[in-house]
Amino acid sequence: MLLQRFLQYWTLPRLLRLYIGLFCFAAVNQCLFLHQYNNYLMFARPFHNLLLDKSIYGLHPDLYDDNYKYSPTFAWLMGPFYYMPDWLGTLLWNLLNTVVLLLGVWMYLSNEKDPDRQRRAALLIIVLEALITAQNLQSNNLIVGSMLLGLYFLRNERVWQAAFFFVLCGFIKFYGMAAAGFFLFYPKKPQFILAMIGWIVLLGIAPVTIIPFDHLMAEYQEWFRVIVVSKLGLQVSTMGIAESWFGMAKTDANYRIIEMIGATLFLLPFLRFSLWKNGLFQRRMIAYFFLFIIVFNKMAESPTYVMAVTGVALWWLTLSEPTRLDKILLALVIIFTSLSPTDIFPQVIQKQFFQPYNIKAVGCLLVWARVQYQLWTQPKEEDLPLLTAH
C-alpha cells in the first residue's frame, strides 16, 4: 500500500533532517527569491528603535510594514538578529524555531513506553502546519516548542525551567503563557508561582539595559493598548464558522459569547478533581488546551494552526486503540486543515469554498469535541503511568 510505504520511509532520523533542512530552505526561499519576509523584519528591527530610545510601536515603514504587536522584551531578545544580514537572520530564525519545536516534541514524549514511535507519529501529523508557519517566518513553532518544554519540566518538577519557557511564550503571545495553568496538576505549586514571578520580573525589565526604566514602562502601557485595539485576524476559528455558516453578525458581543462558551466548556472537565493525578487525563487536557487556544481564538489564522494540530497529535497519542471515528477525524484534520492551503487543491476550490467557509477550522473543532467527550467519559480506573522523570 502506497501510504504504508510512505510512512515506513519516514523514520525518525529522516523526519528530523526533513524538518531542519526544509524549514531552513523555506527561510532562504522567502528572503532571497520571493522577497517576502516582512514578518521577520517586524521581529528583528524594532531593536533599532530601542537603541535610539524611540517607541517600537506605531508605523515604521522605513523598517518594516504593519504594526509591531509584541512586547519590548521580545524586541530586546531579538537584538542579535538585528545585526545580521537578512538572509542569515531569516535562516537562523527558522532554525531556532525548528530546533525548539523538535526539542519540545522530543522532551514532552520522552517518558512514553515507546518514545521514538510516538515522536515519529507526532512529527508526521504536525509537519505540514509547522511548514506553513516556517514559510511565513512566524514565531508559532517556537511557541509550541516552548510550551511543550515548559510542560515537560513542570511534569518533572523542575519549576524554574518550566516557568522560563512559559514566561518566554507570554512575552511573545499572551496565550502561550496560559499553559502554565497546568501547574495545578503537579507538586511544588508555591515554588512554581515564585518562579513565574521571578522570570516575569527579570525578563520584563531586561530592556532597561538599553532604555530608561520609565520609558520601558511607557512601552509596556503602549503594548497593552495595541493588543486591546488590534484588528481581528482572519478568524479561522469557531467565530469564522459561526459567521460564514450561520450568518452570525461580526460584533464584539457575539465574539464574547462564543469565547465564554468555549472557556466554560474548556474549564468544566477540571471539575473531575479525582482525575487530576491521572496520567491519561492530564495528557488529554493538555491536548484539549492546544486545540482550545486556536479554535476559540478570534485572531486565529492559518500559520497559528500548528498549535491546534499539535493538540490533535497529542490527542492521537493518548488513544491505545483508535476507533473508526478517531481515524476519520484525524484524516479530516490532515486533509482539510493541513492540506487545504496547498496546491493539491485547485485555487478555485480554496478561494470559493475552503477559505470563505473556514474549512481549515472544522476538523480541529470536531477533534476538540471528541476530546471533550473522552474527558467526561473516562472512568477513574483508566490510567496511563504518570509521566515522571527517569
The residues spanned by each domain of the chain are: 233-390
User: Which pLDDT band holds residue 3 (cuts at 50, 70, 90)?
Assistant: confident
Q: Which residues contact 350 (CB under 8 A, 6 or more apart)?
A: 340, 341
Mean pLDDT, residues 77-82: 98
Mean pLDDT over all residues of the chain? 93
Tell me: pLDDT of 74 over 50. Answer: yes
Mean pLDDT, residues 137-149: 98
Mean pLDDT, residues 179-203: 97
Tell me: pLDDT of 152 over 70. Answer: yes
Amino acid residing at 274: S
User: Which pLDDT band holds residue 389 (cuts at 50, 70, 90)?
Assistant: very low
pLDDT digits (tens, 9 = 90+) for 38-69: 999 999 999 999 999 999 999 999 999 988 99
User: Which pLDDT band holds residue 382 (cuts at 50, 70, 90)?
Assistant: low
Mean pLDDT, residues 140-155: 98
User: Which pLDDT band holds residue 232 (cuts at 50, 70, 90)?
Assistant: low
User: Which pLDDT band holds residue 342 (cuts at 50, 70, 90)?
Assistant: confident
Q: Which residue has the higher pLDDT, 232 or 148?
A: 148
The region of weakest confidence among 88-92, 277-281, 297-301 is 297-301
Tell me: pLDDT of 352 over 70. Answer: yes
Tell me: pLDDT of 381 over 90. Answer: no
User: Which pLDDT band holds residue 251 (cuts at 50, 70, 90)?
Assistant: confident
Query: What pLDDT score does 220 carry?
Result: 96
pLDDT digits (tens, 9 = 90+) for 309-340: 999 999 999 999 999 999 999 999 999 999 99
pTM of the model: 0.94
Mean pLDDT, residues 181-198: 96
pLDDT digits (tens, 9 = 90+) for 252-263: 889 899 999 999
